[in-house]
Structure 1
């Protein structure tokens, strides 16, 4: 499988082809001026094919925020922008991820709690994985567990942070309009989602894909938020 290094303005970007790597994704995240991000947004807005492909991978996540996949490769790596657009959010489910990620808060503020599993039955545990044949994630019930809070921190605009795949955390106290930009590595295992007893596997899953015109409207609004 061929990969390429840092992207330039002339590099063609095709979602569904492995043409970029972790360094290229993190390059965009680390640019606090957001100029590199704005170029990527313009690239999508100016190319109908790229916009259509991006729309296929974007959706309102089951945890409540909008997940916009700006760039991706064939093994699950991606550059994502998350937007919490509602005026009120309940605390997210406790969860891990299928890969490591590196993120920066563009605007707004969230509270992040980190957790560890403990003996107990307070939560129902689900194994969460991407199904290549179905083209979306699935969840499988995996017994019960207890959990304990290990740390609590506030992440505000400009702050960068990294999470390993199996780190358990959740987000709460989200300031409306908060946006984060994140680089995600290739999927390398199952994630864990913890829900209150009585939940079902379907509660862990969301429908993937939105209309390209809806994505265009969202990206134009995001550009306006970033540039003021």
Structure 2
């Protein structure tokens, strides 16, 4: 199961997010959880414990990788489909395949900015009124055998920008699953966030929109080895010690 910090984090996740509350209550609870666990002192204790080999590093490594949106995605606590707690390390100017993508998620989410700053834009589909800007729509799912990202064209669309925000260290946000958004590292140095997806029901696919040209039909998801995963956690712990 893990050491003291891992068990404490699991208890907090289970206690705050148990049951099937309405989505607005779920996103509020998730935001409260990442705010509590994301303080640099507490997150350092958890990451350092995981970096020492507590928990299940091999299983967590298989679900940790460089995301198409340009950040390192490190699984910390695997609570099954109900709770997945991750550390995201965003790299400025990463040049990732999907860095311009506007997307939503399979389940509600919350994020706490531990270090650095994120910028975020929110959008809504504006097909009926014909406003906004043109974009290509894709249905994104996971390949059954490889878990690679599969993008199926779903026709043209028009999107309208509804909100622009910046989230500095110490701030948080939470979004329902269907919310269309785009986020990126807004500083010259890496940004670290604590990210939680939660909910008993997960959508089978997400919606991805891009105005930057056609996407490849599939993007490989390359998991970390256990050694790479533990090394990334050690590097993250060192970053947290300087905050």
Deviation, 1:168, is 0.5
CA distance in 2, matches of 1:106, 1:47: 23
- Equivalence map 1:93-132=2 (5 Å): 93-119=101-127, 122-131=134-143
Deviation, 1:139, is 2.7
| Contact 1:125 1:145 (8 Å CA) reproduced | yes
Q: Deviations over 1:137-183 (max 9, x none)?
A: 43322111011100101111000110111100102452231011011
Q: Deviations over 1:87-115 (max 9, x none)?
A: 55575311111111111100101211100
1:198 to 2:217 alignment: no
CA distance in 1, matches of 2:148, 2:15: 22
Seen in structure 2, the aligned counterparts of structure 1 residues 26 and 69 have a Cα distance that, compared at 3 Å, is farther
Seen in structure 2, the aligned counterparts of structure 1 residues 217 and 124 have a Cα distance that, compared at 3 Å, is same
Write 1 or 2 for the structure with the bigger share of helix. 2
Q: Under a length normalisation based on structure 2, what TM-score does the superposition of the two structures give?
A: 0.76
Deviation, 1:20, is 5.5
| Contact 1:84 1:174 (8 Å CA) reproduced | no
Q: Let me know the Cα RMSD of the aligned residues.
A: 3.0
Q: Deviations over 1:34-88 (max 9, x none)?
A: 3332232133222277121111100000111111111113326300111113455
Q: Under a length normalisation based on structure 1, what TM-score does the superposition of the two structures give?
A: 0.81
CA distance in 2, matches of 1:149, 1:211: 39
Q: Across the two proteins, how many residue pairs are aligned to each other? A: 216
- Equivalence map 1:212-223=2 (5 Å): 212-223=226-237
| Contact 2:5 2:46 (8 Å CA) reproduced | no
Q: Any stretches of 5+ residues in structure 1 without a counterpart?
A: 1-6
The answer for the alignment partner of 1:75 in structure 2 is: 81
| Contact 1:98 1:129 (8 Å CA) reproduced | no
Seen in structure 2, the aligned counterparts of structure 1 residues 8 and 49 have a Cα distance that, compared at 3 Å, is closer
CA distance in 1, matches of 2:6, 2:85: 18
State the SS of the aligned residue for 1:165: coil
The answer for the alignment partner of 2:68 in structure 1 is: 62
The answer for the alignment partner of 1:182 in structure 2 is: 195
